[in-house]
Amino acid sequence: MSDSLQHRPMRAERLRSLYIKANHDDEGSLDKWNWEAEKTGRGLLELSSPSELTEDEMKFAINISKTFVGKFTGVQYSSFQSHVEARCLLEEDRVLGLLLLWEKYQEPLQDLIQLRWRGPDFARSLTLGNPGLLRKLQERWAQPVAGKTAEAVTALFLEHIDDIDTITDERDGYRNFAINVCHLLDIHCCQNCTKNNAPKFGAVEFRMFNTELGPSMRLAIMLFQRMVQQTCTAPLEQLRSMTLNLNEEPAKDVVPLLEFLNMDVSLFRDTFEQSGPERWMSFCQ
């Protein structure tokens, strides 16, 4: 725990507290860790961090995750998911930039982290999950910037909500894409679930990565944060050169993305090449 956090004992105490939810869809405690049984896999447990963590608090959460090594594992049903504040994406259609940047590099990222076979169920690409929407987003992204509004982007998602491929149940929908924008845009997260009633809090959710702990969790969070930061601040033409534009093919390698984000390519590769959905099982007694 950092010195600054130690000087805030009430906040530190909440960050050490665990709220156990009786049922998965019950209201939780936003300033504590939440522990609950998952619905997607038998015996699967979900741990959610407190919301709106500062950088020091996020580092504390990452350090806590190191203590799980050897006690808990990831499997084919489990994942690491992270929200990033993203209201800056509502300007100049930059939310399209983020979606199309991710779309260009999703396949090589999947290969590098050895994506679990259940991954596509909970982290669809637009290419496979809603190709009609993808094309409309690409067409809009290719237009001049003047007059663009978040409401117009939202309208495209609403127009193509029935085109999501292979809906499995009432909890399925836009929330089950690799980048979930249902907390940023005024769209439903699912066909019919309590998440549709949650206030829009201005974040995007990254859902693709397998269960990560310690250093790999840190690098995953860094990737997500820098993708939002760069998408919000890069000159539009530079950003457009990095995205999956009309009639272009997805990238084959993650190196251009990591260089665009000023991340250490060797460190990222070394950390995730030994990845996979069950990487932590070998640490268990």
Mean pLDDT, range 59-84, rounded to an integer: 92
Q: What is the pLDDT of residue 9?
A: 93
Contact 98, 86 (CB under 8 A): yes
In the chain, what are the domain boundaries? 68-283
Q: What is the pLDDT of residue 254?
A: 97
**Residue 147: pLDDT above 70?**
no
Give the least confident one: 73-87, 139-153, 155-169: 139-153
Q: What tens digit of pLDDT does each residue of 1-19 get? A: 889 999 999 999 999 999 9
**Residue 38: pLDDT above 70?**
yes
Q: What is the pLDDT of residue 77?
A: 87
Q: Which of 52-61, 218-227, 274-283 has the highest mean pLDDT?
A: 218-227
Q: What is the pLDDT of residue 164?
A: 95
pTM: predicted TM-score of the whole model, two decimal places: 0.95
**pLDDT mean across residues, the chain:** 93
Is 131 or 29 the better-scoring residue by pLDDT?
131
Q: What tens digit of pLDDT does each residue of 245-279 get? A: 999 999 999 999 999 999 999 999 999 988 888 88
Radius of gyration of the chain (CA): 19
Q: What tens digit of pLDDT does each residue of 165-223 get? A: 989 999 999 999 999 999 999 999 999 998 899 899 999 999 999 999 999 999 999 99
**Residue 25: pLDDT above 70?**
yes
Q: What is the pLDDT of residue 207?
A: 97
Q: What is the pLDDT of residue 149?
A: 80
* Residue % of the chain over a pLDDT of 70: 99
Residue 42 burial by Cβ neighbours in a 10 Å radius (0-12, 13-18, 19+): exposed
Give the least confident one: 93-97, 137-141, 143-147, 187-191: 143-147
Question: Hey, what amino acid is at 195?
Answer: K
**Residue 285: pLDDT above 70?**
no
